[in-house]
Amino acid sequence: SQTIHQWPATLVQPVGSPLSLECTVEGTSNPNLYWYRQAAGRGLQLLFYSVGIGQISSEVPQNLSASRPQDRQFILSSKKLLLSDSGFYLCAWSFGGSGANVLTFGAGSRLTVL
């Protein structure tokens, strides 16, 4: 069976510091990978998705970037955090391809920027 791991679970960082959140998936190959952010308003906003190694699509302009150095690894980064980057970040995976796929989420990373 497939599992998704995301870390760290919580993070408190000062403004201007770098960020790295990591997500890995086990038990499948060539998954689609996604980063979502959930702010206080509860909606999930899609930040990035990837359909393969090195292939990153950005949904909204922002202070963040994503990378996929390996098939089942997805990393969310920032060089300099802003206060507005605070939120709950969720990594998700689905089976590859363009069929109607269910997203399975990791446990999330709560980021507080002070």
32 binds other proteins (CB under 8 A): yes
Kindly state whether residue 53 participates in binding other proteins, applying the rule CB under 8 A. no
- Considering only the stretches 12-20, 22-30, 46-54, 66-74, report the one whose residues sit in contact with other proteins under the rule CB under 8 A: 46-54
Q: Is residue 41 involved in binding other proteins (CB under 8 A)?
A: yes
8 A C-beta contact, residue 12 and residue 112: yes
Q: Does 100 interact with other proteins (rule: CB under 8 A)?
A: yes
**Tokens matching residue 18:** 């770098």
* Nearer to other proteins among residue 14 and residue 99 (C-beta): 99
Cα–Cα separations (whole angstroms), residue 113 to 30, 53, 76:
33, 30, 15
Look up tokens 């899609």; give the residue.
46
Applying CB under 8 A, among 24, 35, 47, 49 the residue interacting with other proteins is 49
Q: Is 82 left (phi over 0), alpha (psi -120 to 50) or beta?
A: beta
46 counts as binding other proteins under rule CB under 8 A: yes
